[in-house]
Structure 1
Amino acid sequence: MTTTSHGPTAPFALARYRQGESVRLGLVAHDRIRPLTPEQLGAASLNDFLAAPDWDRLAALAESASSPEPVDGWMPLADVTLTAPVEPRQVLQTGANYRQHVIELVAAGLTNNSDRTPDEAREFAAKMMDDRAANGEPYFFIGLPACVVGDDVPLALPAYSDVHDWELELAVVIGREAFRVSREDALDHVAGYTIANDITTRDLVFRKDMKEIGTDWYRAKNAPGFLPTGPFLVPARFVDGADLDVRLELNGEVMQDASTSDLLFDIPALVSGASQTMPLLPGDILLTGSPAGNGQHWKRFLRDGDVMTGTIQGLGAQVVRCIADPVPLL
């Protein structure tokens, strides 16, 4: 199906939309959306549904959206305000996971700090990454679920920095609980996929007062609204997460343009790896990393009035508008 230019291409998807002061779960099909009651969903909540998703049940409901005059509460998708399609209890994030991006970063450092030529540095970095993929483990850190918002919420850029950056990422939505699962079984625990933009304040990533501590992901990535997500949750049955185009435009100019085929650790490796420490719960999201082309690369960071359009093949698009943070600093 095709909904709008920003819609998913799957036969149906899930979304959450605003209705007055509340948020409702909806089923999206074609260019329409309809509310889902617990009875229609077959579960008390979205996360309860994702724990044992009955996608065939929703597919049957979606069929009526294509009738010339749909009934059953269908509304034009353009008439509702979509918000984040997930309600995660845990947010896991993956670092340094696009092979070519990491090779470029490592090679740049080697070129600047050794006598290697650029070609020699890239060859050395490529061997490092191939060895890491074969013998290493994914690098995870955690984010705050409270940062997950829809693109209906403007991104308020805190005044304590002027180097807020974008990182568009494919987000895995967990279905059945995953605890110490194998790579072979990992995809059985994936309910679907959505889009996330992992906003990062670059000058807060490394502690300046005690460099031995290393990275400070709490301050760098967890300001209010720093994880725009959605607007659609597309069932895994409609998505080949191993080969999706990932593209971010800033004010219409392409900044990131890559494919998930370049992931150093693929989705089964990420789900399996993350599940070895703590159970991944239904509705949790696992970000898979971001490709080259963030603001740090371009030496151009987010400003008041910027508009980011992030698209991932088959998942639709999110449009995030940036504003200066209206909350004054202490």
Structure 2
Amino acid sequence: MSVKPAPASALFAGPFALATLSAPNGPAFPALVTPDAQVVELRAAFDDDRLAIRSLLENWEAALPRLEALAEDGGQQRKPLADYQVHAPVEPRQIFQSGANYRQHVIDLHVAHRAPDDARSEEERRAEAAEIMDRRAAEDLPYVFIGLPSAITGPYDDVVLPSWAEKPDWELELAAVIGRPAYQLSADEALDHVAGYTIANDLTDRTTVFRRDMPQIGTDWLRSKNAPGFTPLGPWIVPAASVADPDDLQVTLKLNGETMQDESTKDMIFNVARVVAYVSQTARLLPGDVVLTGSPAGNGMHWGRLLRDGDVMEGTVTGLGVQRTRCVAEETS
């Protein structure tokens, strides 16, 4: 996979963001990036040759004031971001993915999959689905499954479409990055454990979501979502303090320049705090873990247009920058 330099438009909210960068053909290193596209190499700034983004997150409460000071220090040596290659900002130990979490998206699915003998109008079916979604938000729990770190790739890397994936689809999402260990949190406590936010594209092969040989088993997320490179992540981790309201951000994906997804996180059935708190009821969240919060309406199945060789996806979330990935068909012998 080829790592592409960040485009000049990849800015973000706040005074700084965290990134994992490398010089051409050089090793990756943790960096502080400023909105004017300048880079501070953090191993030198922290005098720690083994420093990584995850180790910063493991000591987030102590690291954050130092990072804020570095961002304000005009005398600190800085280099142009254009000199570096951009990788996924963090290597998480655990990835949690929320499904069916956007109200309009789920309503669309409900209407699209009506029974053959359902003679009601579309308006009636939408009203029923809206009532179900409201009841679910009030009474039910988020739907979360587990992803593999090996599926992560950089925000400008090529995405290889496996030869077996018949219907590869996009799912742009807001992702929360954990900064403090968390277990059995309440929703009121959850955001205190989020260090920052980034962008994820949770690619899915629609043909393998359900097992054909044993449909009674249900969903097969291993096969459908975890091919190498199926989770482009980044470009940055923007600290939570720079994100005014994670429940009011615009999630936009363009395919070859055409807008396919464009929805606010206000449409989430379960907001970020409720998703993080729900995950923590079962799993112990660790610094650097990534929690994906679901994808809005406008996936390829909605448009009847799936990913193919040469497609370019451009994803943005308000204040978090831009990721841009090109699809490449897997070479077969």
Identify the residue that residue 313 of structure 1 maps to in structure 2.
Answer: 318
1:302 maps to 2:311: no
Name whichever of 149-158 and 169-178 sits farther off.
149-158
The one-letter amino acid of 1:310's match is G
CA distance in 2, matches of 1:313, 1:89: 26
The C-alpha deviation readout for 1:110-150, integer Å capped at 9, x for no partner, is: 37551221111111111101111101000000000111110
Measured on the aligned residues, the alpha-carbon RMSD in Å equals: 1.7
Code of the aligned partner of 2:296: P
Residue-by-residue CA offset, 1:195-220 (whole Å, 9 max, x unaligned): 00001111011111111111110000
Look up the match of 1:34: 40
Residue 197 of structure 1 corresponds to: 201
Gaps of 5+ in 2: 1-6
Question: How is 1:213-228 mapped onto 2 (pairs within 5 angstroms)?
Answer: 213-228=217-232
Spell out structure 1 runs of 4+ moving beyond 4 A. Answer: 41-44
**Residue 248 in structure 1 maps to residue 257 in structure 2:** no
Q: What secondary structure does 2:273 align onto?
A: helix
Corresponding position of 1:208: 212
Q: TM-score, normalised by structure 2?
A: 0.92
Q: Which AA in structure 2 matches 1:110?
A: R
Q: Secondary structure at the match of 2:14?
A: coil
Match of 1:63 among 36, 57, 72: 72
- Return the TM-score normalized by structure 1: 0.93
Query: How far off is 1:44 after superposition?
Result: 4.3
Structure 2 residue identity aligned to 1:55: L
- 1:273 and 2:278 equivalent? yes
Answering whether residue 112 of structure 2 is matched by residue 105 of structure 1, we say: no
Counterpart of 2:287, as a letter, is P
Q: In the aligned structure 1, how far is the partner of 2:91 from the partner of 2:53?
A: 8
2:30 is aligned to 25
For the residues of structure 2 that align with 1:224 and 1:118, how far apart are their CA atoms? 39
The Cα offsets for residues 78-122 of structure 1, whole Å up to 9 and x where unpaired, read as 221111001100000000000111112112323755122111111
What are the residue-to-residue correspondences of 1:80-229 with 2, within 5 Å? 80-110=84-114, 112-229=116-233
- Judge conservation of contact 1:111–1:117 (CA < 8 Å) in 2: no
- Mapped contact 2:203–2:225 kept (Cα < 8 A): yes
Q: CA deviation at 1:250?
A: 0.5
Question: 2:30, 2:51 within 8 Å by CA — same for their partners in 1?
Answer: no
Aligned to 1:276, the other structure's residue is in SS state: helix
Distance between the aligned counterparts of 2:111 and 2:207, measured in 1? 22
The percent identity for this pair of structures is 51
Q: For 1:62, give the aligned amino acid.
A: A
Letter matched to residue 22 of structure 1: P
Closer, same or farther: CA 113–218 of 1 in aligned 2, 3 Å: farther
Please tell me whether the aligned partners of residues 22 and 86 of structure 2 are also in contact (alpha carbons under 8 angstroms). yes
The aligned counterpart of 1:51 is 58
Q: Distance in 2 between matches of 1:318 and 1:114?
A: 42
2:294: which partner in 1? Answer: 289
| Whole-angstrom distance in 2 between the partners of 1:39 and 1:6 | 24
Verify the 8 A CA contact 1:91 1:144 in the aligned structure 2: yes
Q: Is the 8 A contact 2:29 2:41 kept in 1?
A: yes
SS in 2 for 1:293: coil
Report deviation, 1:39: 5.9
